[in-house]
Structure 1
Amino acid sequence: MQHNQLEKVKMANGFIAALDQSGGSTPKALAAYGIPKHAYTNEEEMFDLVHDMRTRIMTSPAFDSNYIIGAILFEQTMDRKIEGLYTGDYLAEKKGIVPFLKVDKGLAEEKNGVQLMKQIPNLENTLQRANDRHIFGTKMRSVIKHANQDGIKAVVDQQFEIGKRIIAADLLPIIEPEVDIHSPEKEACEDTLKAEILDQLNALNDHEHVMLKLTIPTQTNLYKELIIHPNVVRVVALSGGYSTKEANEKLKANNGLIASFSRALAQDLNVNQTDQQFNATLEQAVKSIYEASV
């Protein structure tokens, strides 16, 4: 783990860009970008198109390290190149942006009001490849829909169990137990989630550090104890389906919480925009998310 990247992630003003849509969510991301399903005939063409979209975002002058601390990548993106460099190297060397990798393989069926992560086969091999590609950290997502104590505990236990394996590989894990913004029990879910996370954090050794990626809480500043916890490098917020404007407004109310937005970052980008239009639209989104984060 590079010390200068750790300091940037811990201390720098800005936000984490999420560019990690995987196989299941890629068609929706492409459709939002103006590329319908009939524009590609197989998965290979689909992933080529989404890499082109991500390349356009990352090479834009608006994708600027003065505003963006890090970027979360899909595994295929990590293994592809931008301007002759593997994506992680391009981000670190050309942009000064810290690269992260999504390592989960999607969600299991709902049980006890939550969706755990599916099994992650060959995780250690993936983590070794991440190190070879100069990736700094990882991200993995679960979803909480109801305030079921057993379900929420199972989510947090799974996240930290895998997180410790990631720490052992000298990478920084982003723990992401997302609370569904449409849950009728959202606030109760968040109270239980906070307690379970604190239990896990308090059981870590001094050298074990994590980041947390959480839904913006209903109760303002609910996650203050997590933000200041000595084992937490940073707490970032997911947009969770909120529009950019709504996500930014909710984020601003929470001191010390910074953004890690996906949809809210790219929602107004379109394949048919000129470079000038595309860059101006991305710059507006980047600056608005940055302002909400600082």
Structure 2
Amino acid sequence: MNVDELKSVAGAIVAQQKGILAADESNPTIKKRFDSIKLESTEENRRRYRELLFTAEGIERYLGGVILFDETLRQSSRDGTPFAELLSRRGIIPGIKVDKGAKALAMYSGDQITEGLDGLRERLAEYKQLGAKFAKWRGVIQIDQHDIPSAYALHANAHALARYAALCQEAGIVPIVEPEVLMDGPHDMDRCEVVTSHMLEILFAELDAHRVIFEGILLKPNMVIAGMKCTHESNVQQVADATTRCLRRYVPSAVPGIVFLSGGQSAEDATDHLNAMNAMGSYPWQLSFSYGRALQAPVLNVWHGKESNVAMAQKVFFKRCQLNGLAREGKYNRTMETDK
């Protein structure tokens, strides 16, 4: 493990105006995305779509990294260039999703635990050979207004995230640590803040116990936001205030960057929330983005699987990257959405 290299990679991913494209959808997830545009989810269509994203002009100005799925890391562009190499040539760091998904936590109804630790050391060694310089593991925290998640579920997921992070750093790979408190459900903002706070407090204690070097990780948390079924909607400034308050209390200043997940927010809301936080002042860590749907949904709506739509879809993708790059500096405004 080269600590300087870990710090260098983590810092490069969240350099000025830069964030992450999460293009690590599993095959079942990308099938749902393709179903929405009535496109069959074949390996070739998945490859074509990822190539559209990775070759869009100008995105290297706003993307420091891209998270890939196992299949995608092994794929190439139509001219035979492996995707990891294609991205690296553009100055975009390739990463890899390494968890095996969330399953029901035995004996704890409503809670989940992420699987994938078995054989992870060997898989990380292979992924590094294939060009990945960072990895991602998602812990899924179910939430209701009262008794979910259980305290045990928080500890179990924090422990798994810490074991994963330690294995990554041992292999010379920067771990993105993702404890996602879901925004499904009827819970209000206060409940989300309580659960997110507990999760972050437990998580950093576990990371420290596993001797994970905070300077060589990135944190990918949810924003503190009311559930989709909550009757009390939260406004942009409330989300920014609650989220930054929570992070200041529980995230060590040694962590170089916080890359938010969009978690089901619209593309505009995810950008607006990030912008509001960065407009409030400076922080000990970079506040950036690691968006999947919030960067890709507008692209899919234009592309529809047709070669004739590729150029326009790439322009839409570039614009979303650019708007989030501006949000990193607190310079985004919703009126920019309709600017040519």
Give the TM interval when normalised to the shorter protein. Answer: 0.7 to 0.9
Quick check: 1:20 aligned with 2:43?
no
Q: 1:25 to 1:120 in 2, by over 3 A?
A: farther
CA offset at residue 104 of structure 1?
0.8
Find the aligned partners of 2:212 and 2:112 in 1 and give their Cα distance. Answer: 30
Q: Secondary structure at the match of 1:260?
A: strand
Q: Secondary structure at the match of 2:220?
A: strand
Larger Rg: 2
1:198 to 197, 200, 204: 204
Q: Which runs of 5+ in 1 are unaligned?
A: 41-45
Percent identity between the aligned chains?
22
Q: Secondary structure at the match of 2:96?
A: strand
Q: Which residue of 1 aligns with 2:315?
A: 280
Quick check: 1:238 aligned with 2:234?
no
Question: Could you report, residue by residue, the CA deviation over 1:179-208 in whole angstroms, capped at 9, with x for unpaired residues?
Answer: 101241422211211211232344454746
Find the aligned partners of 1:69 and 1:227 in 2 and give their Cα distance. Answer: 22
Question: Could you report, residue by residue, the CA deviation over 1:206-243 in whole angstroms, capped at 9, with x for unpaired residues?
Answer: 7463211111124130213555532x232110000000
Find the aligned partners of 1:198 and 1:206 in 2 and give their Cα distance. Answer: 9
CA offset at residue 16 of structure 1?
0.5
Find the aligned partners of 2:326 and 2:276 in 1 and give their Cα distance. Answer: 12
Question: Could you report, residue by residue, the CA deviation over 1:126-159 in whole angstroms, capped at 9, with x for unpaired residues?
Answer: 1111111121110011211124222111111111
Question: Could you report, residue by residue, the CA deviation over 1:79-138 in whole angstroms, capped at 9, with x for unpaired residues?
Answer: 111232221111111x11011100011111253643211234432221111111121110
2:120 to 123, 136, 146: 123
Q: Secondary structure at the match of 1:140?
A: strand
Q: Secondary structure at the match of 2:277?
A: coil
1:115–1:144 contact (8 Å) kept in structure 2:
yes
Q: Which residue of 1 aligns with 2:103?
A: 108
Q: Which runs of 5+ in 2 are unaligned?
A: 144-148, 226-241, 279-285, 330-340
Q: 1:35 to 1:201 in 2, by over 3 A?
A: same
In the superposition, the TM-score normalised over structure 1's length comes to: 0.88
CA offset at residue 74 of structure 1?
0.4
Q: Which residue of 1 aligns with 2:292?
A: 262
1:213 to 204, 208, 220: 220
CA offset at residue 278 of structure 1?
1.2
Quick check: 1:85 aligned with 2:92?
no
Find the aligned partners of 1:5 and 1:59 in 2 and give their Cα distance. Answer: 22
In the superposition, the TM-score normalised over structure 2's length comes to: 0.76
2:193–2:243 contact (8 Å) kept in structure 1:
no
Q: Which residue of 1 aligns with 2:139?
A: 142
1:170 to 169, 172, 182: 172
Q: 1:104 to 1:207 in 2, by over 3 A?
A: closer
What is the correspondence of 1:40-119 to structure 2 with a 5 Å cutoff? 46-62=42-58, 64-82=59-77, 83-93=79-89, 95-110=90-105, 111=108, 113-119=110-116
Find the aligned partners of 1:235 and 1:151 in 2 and give their Cα distance. Answer: 23
Q: CA RMSD in A?
A: 2.2
2:137–2:178 contact (8 Å) kept in structure 1:
yes
Q: Which residue of 2 aligns with 1:43?
A: none
What is the one-letter code of the residue matched to 2:132?
A: I
Report how many residues are paired.
283
1:107–1:142 contact (8 Å) kept in structure 2:
yes
What is the one-letter code of the residue matched to 1:229?
A: S
What is the one-letter code of the residue matched to 1:283?
A: F
